[in-house]
Amino acid sequence: MKRIYISIIITCISIRFVFSQTTNLGGNATLWVGNQASFYFGGNTTLNGTVTNNGEIISFSDLDFVLNRAAGSLRFVGTGDQNLSGDTLDVTNMVVDKTGNSNVVLLTDRVVVSGMLDVTNGVVQAEDELDLLVSGSSDGNGQGFVEGKLVGLSTGQPVTFPMGINGSTNYVTLSGTTSGTVFRVEIEDPDFTDVRTEEDIQAISDEVQWIITSIGAGSDGQLTIDFSGVDLNTANIESINADVYQPAIVALMPGDSLYRVLTSVNDPALNFTSITAPPTAGTVPVEDLINVSEEPIRLALAWIPVVDDIEFYIPNSFAPNGTQLENQTFRAFFSGDLVTNYSMTVFNSLNQEIFTTSQSGSNVDISFLGWDGTLNSGQQAPSGVYYYNVVLTSATSTERFTQIGAVLLVR
C-alpha cells in the first residue's frame, strides 16, 4: 500500500475529492475543505498537518486527527470497524452510517459534538467517562447506537441518548428538563442475581440496564425508553397470576434498596392491555417525574401484571428468618390504586399491643410498613399466633379496607 503525502486546498464549494489509499497529511501540509464540499478517505488516514473542514470529511477506515482539534463535520461509512483518534475533537455534525453493527471506536481524549449526532447504522464504542459529549442534539430515529457512555446537554428541549447494547437499540429520551443541565447515560449488562423488587414485578430483564446521572446541578424530567432485543421470559423473579401484563420501567433510586415500578403514561396507542406475552421491542413513556442528580439512577425493563380491579390481601403466616425476602415481614399487599391512609396494629395472645405503624399521604408506600417479628424490647417474638387490625384508605375508592385476623409467626 503506497502512502501519499498531500498538501491540498479545496476552494470549490460543491465538489467531491476521493483518496482510496492510505493517506498521511504531512506536518507542514494544509487540508481545507470548503462549504458543501465532501472529502472521501477510503484508506487509513493520518492528518498531521493543518485541517480546516467547513464541508464534510467522509471516512471508510481509521481516521487520526493527531493534534488537530477542530474536526468539522464527520461521516463514517463502510463495512469494517474504524478507529477515530486524536486529542479532544470539536465536531460540528457526526454521522455514523455503517453496514450492520460494525464499530466506530473512539480512541480520542474526547469528542464534543456541537451540532447533530446521527447514528443511522452501526455502533459507536464510547467506554470512557467523557468520550462523547453532545452539546447540540441527537437523532432518535436511527438503527445504530452508542454503546458505553454518552453525555448530553439539555437546551430545554427533549434530549435523546441513542444508546444500545448487544446489537440492539435501547434509546433514552429525557424531556421537561432544565436548560443547561448536563446528563450522563450509561448502558451495560446488569447483574440482577440478588436484586430486590416490588412485589408486583414478575420479571426484570437481565440484558440491559441504564444508569443516569447529572454532571453538576441536576434537574427533574420525564423519561421515555425505546427498547429492543430483550427477552423478559428469561428472567423470572416471582410468578404473579394475572390475565394481562405490560412492559414497564423500574428504577433503583439513590438511597433506595428496592427496584420500583415507574408509572407508565396511559397511552391507548400502546395497547398494552392486549399483551399476554412479553414484547421484544417497544416504547415505554413514564408519567412520573424523576429527579436526576449526581447520584446514579439505575433503570431496567420489567414485566408487570395489569390490575383492572383493586386487590387487597394479607397473608396468614410469615417467617422473619426465612430465605424468601417477600415473606420475612408481615404486611398488607394492595394494588390497583394509590394508598392515602394506612395503619397496622399487632397484638399477642394476651391482647397486648406489640407493634403499631401508620402513615398518611398522597401515595403511601406500604411495602415498608410491616412487622418484622421484633418486640418493643428489641427481642425476637417467639413462634406462635398473633392478631392484627389493618385499616387502609385508597385515593379513588369510597371503600375503607379493614381487616382483623390472625397470623402465624414461624421461626
3-state SS, one letter per residue, for 176-228 = CCCCCCEEEEEEECCCCCCCCECCCCCEEEEEEEEEEEECCCCEEEEEEEEEE
What gap in Å lies between CA 211 and CA 21, rounded to an integer? 42
How many other β-carbons are positioned within 10 Å of the β-carbon of residue 172? 24
> pLDDT tens, 49-74?
889 999 999 999 999 999 999 999 99
pLDDT of residue 242: 58
Q: What angle do CA 46, 59, 148 make, to 5 degrees?
A: 95
Q: Which candidate, 350, 349, 354, 341, places its Cα nearest to that of 390?
A: 341
Residue 142's contacts (CB-CB under 8 Å, 6 or more residues apart) are 118, 119, 120, 121, 162, 169
- Give me the domains of the chain, ranges plus CATH numbers: 4-305 (no CATH), 311-409 (2.60.40)
pLDDT of residue 237: 44
Any idea of the CA torsion for 19, 21, 26, 30, to the nearest 10 degrees?
A: 0
pLDDT of residue 23: 73
* Cell output for 350: 394476651
pLDDT of residue 269: 47
CA 267 remoteness from chain centre: 20
pLDDT of residue 408: 94
What gap in Å lies between CA 227 and CA 250, rounded to an integer? 14
What gap in Å lies between CA 113 and CA 123, rounded to an integer? 16
pLDDT of residue 19: 52
The DSSP annotation for 125-139 comes to EE-STTSEEESSEE-
What gap in Å lies between CA 396 and CA 409, rounded to an integer? 33
What residue ranges of the chain have pLDDT lower than 70?
Answer: 1-21, 199-200, 233-244, 265-277, 306-309
CB-CB contact of 248 with 304 (8 Å): yes
Q: Helices H, strands E: what count in the chain?
A: 0, 37
Strand spans (E) along 268-361: 281-285, 290-292, 297-305, 311-313, 317-318, 333-335, 339-347, 353-360
Sheet of 30-33: strands edge to edge? 8-9, 30-33, 50-53
pLDDT of residue 307: 59
pTM: 0.71
pLDDT of residue 21: 65
pLDDT of residue 11: 43
pLDDT of residue 310: 76
What gap in Å lies between CA 81 and CA 125, rounded to an integer? 10
